[in-house]
Structure 1
Amino acid sequence: MIYVFLLGFMSPTLFLAAFLKKGSNKNKVIRSFNWLYFGISIASFLIMLIFMIIYSVEEANKISTLYPLFVWLWMVFLLSRCFEIFYAFLRDALDKITGKSSVGRVNFPTITKYYILWIKLSSDKGEVSKLDSFLRYLLNLKIRFLSWLPFKDKVNGADLRNHDRLILSFRSYFELILNFALIYSLLPADNWSGEKILNIIQATYFSGVTITTLGYGDIYPKQWFSQFLSIFEVLCGFTLIVVCLAIYLKDDPDQQKKDSLTSLEPDKNQP
């Protein structure tokens, strides 16, 4: 599980989001991927539920032992997405408090500095051209990938207002419940109090109880990985509900300025 932990918290989905938003309509990418990941979570939950209904409980519980590499990659993706949600909303909330703008922000300044330093120190123009060709290839892949997104033409690309952020946070909150439930259902039996693998219904129940900090105690984690996941889920839920809602429910000062300027403009329809 240590590899799942390390790879998940390196958050490849966070790097992917930063790469796709660079040079694109950031707000459109955020809305599109919020829906895309939410749909993936629901589809994964339904697949697990159908699997549990069709097969016996014993057979359904064996899903965590099938194709270990696939299960591990699936857990890495889910954990990465949970960390991305936690980081993105916490960072946005801090920006709202301090009044900072994300426009023109360099997402990975250290990597950018090392890249610029390598360009300056490199004396082989062939290596620089190869790297530039590789970066252009990645850019073409990004353009193709964004063009394949479903309903891309119907997604709103306007600036995010506070009510938009509330919608995104609620959708992400339910996505967190499903993502953690899927991870819990994939963990081995020795992670849980009953020494049994949780089916998707039990895992969703435990995930909901954990993220809402109810903690009934009828199901509880025993191993370090499941214990850490439970704590991390509480932190994610606290970030979205307490921190973000407290900030997003306030009036947006930037939007108030725009509305006030709009109200001062003369009505062109009036004679």
Structure 2
Amino acid sequence: MNARYLAVGATLAGIAFVASHHGAGMVDWTAWWPVLAPVAWYLLSRCNEVFLAFYLDAFDKLRVNQRPSSALAWPTRVRLALNSYAELVLNFAVLYAMTPADWWQCGAQRPTSFTDLLTYSALTITTSGGGGFVARHWVPQLLTVYEVMCGLMLLVVSFTIYTGRGLSKRAATHLGKG
């Protein structure tokens, strides 16, 4: 299902990309909110699901002397985490694209296309900065903070635990053979 969710995120991002590049810059989605509200709900629920699933799974791996609740191998966990990471970048970019343009900083640094918001999302989730854009309204500000939290959960907590555990098992296996 992870790959399907990533495909849905990519499809929605593709639609937002085409819509923003077909017209003259950012699309004003405010008139479309009755139709797009279920899409926004889906995107937010997927972000919540990814965050919670990896949060619970990462801490499940840290339990001492207890069997893990899942038998997934560490390479599979890493692949799922990377797919989910890419999905989060796309989902947040589409959510940002659904916000009105005046919710972003006025002047030359206002995002003008979906590509700008995709870049903002990718830079935000890595906590390296927003690419010069600043959210003025509380909705994109809250989304930005939540995206940073999701990125930290996937990269720092989950990815570190998965690779650390997987590499330690691999090292133990090689030491046992030598």
Structure 2 length as normaliser, TM-score? 0.84
Amino acid at match of 2:68: S
- Return the match for 2:83 from 171, 178, 183: 171
- Alignment-derived partner of residue 184 in structure 1: 96
**Aligned pair in 2 of structure 1 residues 241, 205: CA closer, same or farther (>3 Å)?**
same
Tell me, yes or no, if structure 1 residue 160 matches structure 2 residue 126. no
Partner of 2:5: 37
Counterpart of 2:90 in structure 1: which amino acid?
Answer: L
- Which residue of the partner structure matches residue 52 of structure 2? 87
CA change 1:180–1:198 in 2 (3 A) is: farther
CA–CA distance in 1 between the matches of 2:117 and 2:141? 14
SS of equivalent residue, structure 1 residue 249: helix
Cα gap change, 1:197 to 1:209, in 2 (>3 Å)? closer
Contact 1:191 1:223 in 2 (8 A): yes
Over alpha carbons, which structure has the higher Rg?
Answer: 1
Identify unmatched segments of 5+ residues in structure 2: none
Q: Is the 8 A contact 2:120 2:131 kept in 1?
A: no
Gap change, CA 1:217 and 1:168, over 3 Å in 2: closer
Matched, 1:215 2:140: no
Q: Is the CA contact (8 Å cut-off) linking 1:187 and 1:197 kept in structure 2?
A: no
Instruction: Determine if contact 1:191/1:226 at 8 Å carries over to the other structure.
Output: yes
Q: Deviations over 1:107-129 (max 9, x none)?
A: xxxxxxxxxxxxxxxxxxxxxxx
Q: In structure 1, give the amino acid aligned to 2:120.
A: F
**Aligned counterparts of 2:151 and 2:82: Cα–Cα separation in 1:** 10
Q: Which of 51, 64, 69 is equivalent to 1:102?
A: 69
Q: Does structure 2 retain, via aligned residues, the 8 Å contact 1:61–1:197?
A: no
TM-score (ref. length: structure 1): 0.56
How far residue 34 of structure 1 moved from its aligned partner, in angstroms, is 0.5
CA distance in structure 2 between the partners assigned to 1:216 and 1:198 by the alignment:
14
Aligned with residue 250 of structure 1, among 149, 164, 178? 164
Unmatched segments (≥5 aa) in structure 1: 1-32, 104-158, 264-271
Q: Once the 2 structures are TM-superposed, how far is the Cα of residue 188 of structure 1 from its aligned partner?
A: 1.4
Distance in 2 (alpha carbons) for counterparts of 1:198 and 1:66:
19
CA RMSD between the two structures: 2.4
Deviation per CA, 1:220-269: give whole Å up to 9, x if none.
1111111111111001000100111111013459x88xx8xxx9xxxxxx
Contact 2:9-2:90 at 8 Å conserved across structures: yes
1:240 alignment partner in structure 2: 154
* Letter aligned with residue 219 of structure 1: F
What is the identity, as a one-letter code, of the residue corresponding to 1:171? N
User: Secondary structure, in 3 states, of the residue corresponding to 2:77?
Assistant: helix
Deviation sequence 1:141-187 (CA, Å, 0-9, x none): xxxxxxxxxxxxxxxxxx41001000000010011000000000001
SS across alignment from 1:61: coil
Q: Secondary structure at the match of 1:219?
A: coil
Residue identity matched to 2:38: L
| Amino-acid identity (%) | 32
- Match for 1:68: what amino acid? W
Distance 2:86 2:33 in 1: 27
The answer on whether the counterparts of 2:111 and 2:117 sit within 8 Å (CA) in structure 1 is: no
Q: Where do 1:1-271 residues align within 5 Å?
A: 33-57=1-25, 60-62=26-28, 64-98=29-63, 99-102=66-69, 159-194=71-106, 199-216=113-130, 218-252=132-166
8 Å Cα contact 1:185-1:198 kept in structure 2:
no
How much has 1:54 moved relative to structure 2?
2.6
